[in-house]
Amino acid sequence: MRRHLGPSLGSLLTCPMEICPSTGSAGAGLLSLLLVTALSSPSLQKSLPAAYRDHRGPQRHTGLIQCGEYSNQVLPNGLCKIVATLPQGDEQRCPDMFRCTDEVSYWLHENEERKWQVLELRELVSELQEELRNHRHHIKILELQHEEATSRNHSLAQRVQDLEHRYSEASTLQHIQATLLYDMQAQLNNISVPTDGAWHNPACLRPAEMRLQEETHHPDVKHARNCPIDCASIYYNGVRQSGVYSIMPSLGGMPVEVLCDMDTEGGGWTIIQRRQDGSVDFNRTWNEYREGFGDLSGEFWLGNENIHKMTNQGDYSLRIDLEDWNNKHKHAFYQVFSIEDEENSYRLHVDGFSGTVEDSFAWYHNKRNFSTPDSGNLCAEICHGGWWYHQCFYSNLNGVYYKGGRYSMKNRRIRGPDGIVWYSWKDTDYYSLRKVVMMIRPRTFRPHISP
């Protein structure tokens, strides 16, 4: 083999030898060495161990040489052939082959060690990767279990929240039910006590004509104990608490449930109409106004027939309480109040005004017939309520309930004003009041004065 490395390239040296491993002379094996020496580049220095490189220097000082490239092959005769390409030394001589072979052996041994270390590291990495996969799998299982547990906890918490909400609603409903039961028991007691007394009192069971005749000749009979004909009678019987009671007007008929006001100006008032929240529609028929409608605990009209029977069993006065949307209160009082029977269209008789607001009722509506939208009266149709209309009204206490008070034809697309109006207070037909109460009691009523 020949390699040209420039002008300093030496000739090819072939050094065959036979070496005996035990004695250093010729023996059982023949080792043929072909030594080719040439100059080398500094890159050969990189193959030296650190110890060699650190002590590298002139050959005469260290005895070390720079090794070149090695290769080996098996000859046809079974012998090993080693070919080395080595740089020449400073003395233009071939270096010590065996010394270079020691260096190569060192690096081959080091390389083998590194190979085993790499294999071990690969095995270790493979094991670590397997453990990592196992840990990731375990973590994934834990995450799924956590999500499932979180979902169950959320579902449980939601169920607990729903149960708490239902329990709160049930408690509220139970409280409302208990309150309603208490109120119903109180009202039943208020109704049953006078009614039982009335039915057990022979005077209350007499024909209406006979009782009316007795009351005409003996006025005190109207307020006889246990035979109430109005809330004033109940007051005289010792009841001082406002509420729902049962009365039996002297003009006949079945007992009538009424709402009594035992507080305003001494009490004894029988309420015949109340507006307070717009919960009841007052755009009703003639028959409904005749019989009465609504709820005594809220808004209602007592009924023209009942009002007729009560106001024609004696002399009655009327009080009207008014409230606007600024919480201001006014009232009108009429010394005389009654209405005729249905045959006369429940014609109104009202007079003797006084109060804290100017009159918008008696002066314009007195002696007018009652009318409803279905009775053929145009004003009743326009005003959507039942009232003693003239042309058409200065007061319209059974009109449409407008929240907030003010309204207009443009916004409502109506043909005229139809609110709960008391014209003389607001000087307009387009202001609807917030609350109205109409109540009656005997003109001769005198409240009880505590000693």
pLDDT at site 98 = 63
Please report whether residue 315 resides in a domain: yes
| Structure tokens that stand for 131 in this block | 């453990």
Question: How far is C-alpha 179 from the geometric centre of its chain's CA atoms?
Answer: 28
Q: Tell me the C-alpha distance between 245 and 230, whole Å.
A: 9
pLDDT at site 254 = 79
Question: How far is C-alpha 28 from the geometric centre of its chain's CA atoms?
Answer: 103
For 201, 245, 252, 262, the CA distances from 195, given in Å and listed in that order, are: 10, 9, 14, 19
Residue whose C-alpha is closest to residue 187's, from 52, 297, 349, 97: 297
Per-residue pLDDT of the chain in tens (451 residues, 90 and over written 9): 333 333 332 333 333 333 323 333 333 333 333 333 332 333 333 344 443 344 344 333 344 445 666 667 788 888 877 777 777 767 777 766 666 666 667 777 787 888 888 899 999 999 999 999 999 999 999 988 888 888 888 888 888 888 888 888 888 888 888 888 877 776 666 655 555 555 545 455 444 444 444 444 444 444 444 578 999 999 998 899 999 999 988 776 678 999 999 999 999 999 999 999 999 999 999 999 999 999 999 999 999 999 999 999 999 999 999 999 999 999 999 999 999 999 999 999 999 999 999 999 999 999 999 999 999 999 999 999 999 999 999 999 999 999 999 998 765 556 789 999 999 999 999 999 999 999 999 999 998 776 5
pLDDT at site 4 = 34
Looking up tokens 């507006």, which residue turns up?
Answer: 275
pLDDT at site 450 = 60
pLDDT at site 359 = 97
Ramachandran sector of residue 10 (left: φ over 0; alpha: ψ -120 to 50; beta: rest): beta
| Structure tokens that stand for 225 in this block | 């104990």
Looking up tokens 């069971």, which residue turns up?
Answer: 205
Please report whether residue 31 resides in a domain: no
Looking up tokens 């220097």, which residue turns up?
Answer: 57
Dihedral angle sign, alpha carbons of residues 71, 75, 78, 83: negative
Please report whether residue 395 resides in a domain: yes
Query: CB neighbours of 372 closer than 8 A, spacing ≥ 6?
Result: 284, 285, 286, 288, 289, 380, 385, 386
Please report whether residue 422 resides in a domain: yes
Q: What is the span of the domain harbouring residue 274?
A: 231-442
Please report whether residue 223 resides in a domain: no
Residue whose C-alpha is closest to residue 186's, from 242, 108, 225, 237: 242
- Beta strands at 32-37 and 80-86: parallel, antiparallel or unpaired: parallel
Burial of 404 (0-12, 13-18, 19+ CB in 10 A): exposed
- How many domains is the chain built from? 1
Largest distance between two CA atoms of the chain? 173
Does residue 2 contact residue 36 with C-beta atoms inside 8 Å? yes
Q: Tell me the C-alpha distance between 308 and 303, whole Å.
A: 9
Burial of 153 (0-12, 13-18, 19+ CB in 10 A): exposed
Please report whether residue 429 resides in a domain: yes
| Cis ω for the linkage preceding 392 (within 30 of 0) | yes
Q: Tell me the C-alpha distance between 72 and 81, whole Å.
A: 6
pLDDT at site 291 = 96
Task: Report the CATH number that the domain containing residue 241 is assigned in CATH.
Answer: 3.90.215.10
Query: CB neighbours of 67 closer than 8 A, spacing ≥ 6?
Result: 44, 47, 48, 84, 86, 95, 100, 103, 104
- CB atoms under 10 Å from CB of 446, counted, come to 10
Q: Tell me the C-alpha distance between 298 and 280, whole Å.
A: 8
Residue whose C-alpha is closest to residue 208's, from 225, 193, 190, 227: 227
- State the Rg of the chain over Cα: 61
| Strand locations in 54-177 (E) | 69-74, 80-86
Which helix (H) or strand (E) element contains residue 33? strand 32-37
User: For the chain, how are helix, strand and coil distributed in percent, rounded to 5?
Assistant: 40, 20, 40
For 230, 371, 398, the CA distances from 200, given in Å and listed in that order, are: 18, 39, 38
Please report whether residue 290 resides in a domain: yes
Query: CB neighbours of 229 closer than 8 A, spacing ≥ 6?
Result: 222, 223, 247, 248, 249, 250, 310, 313
Q: Tell me the C-alpha distance between 394 and 391, whole Å.
A: 9
Q: Tell me the C-alpha distance between 5 and 270, whole Å.
A: 137
pLDDT at site 234 = 93
Phi, psi of 272 (to 5 degrees): -105, -15
pLDDT at site 46 = 38
Is this prediction's pTM over 0.75?
no
Does residue 386 contact residue 292 with C-beta atoms inside 8 Å? no
∠ CA(262), CA(268), CA(274), 5° rounding?
70
Q: Tell me the C-alpha distance between 392 and 398, whole Å.
A: 13
pLDDT at site 306 = 95
| Structure tokens that stand for 434 in this block | 């917030």
Please report whether residue 279 resides in a domain: yes
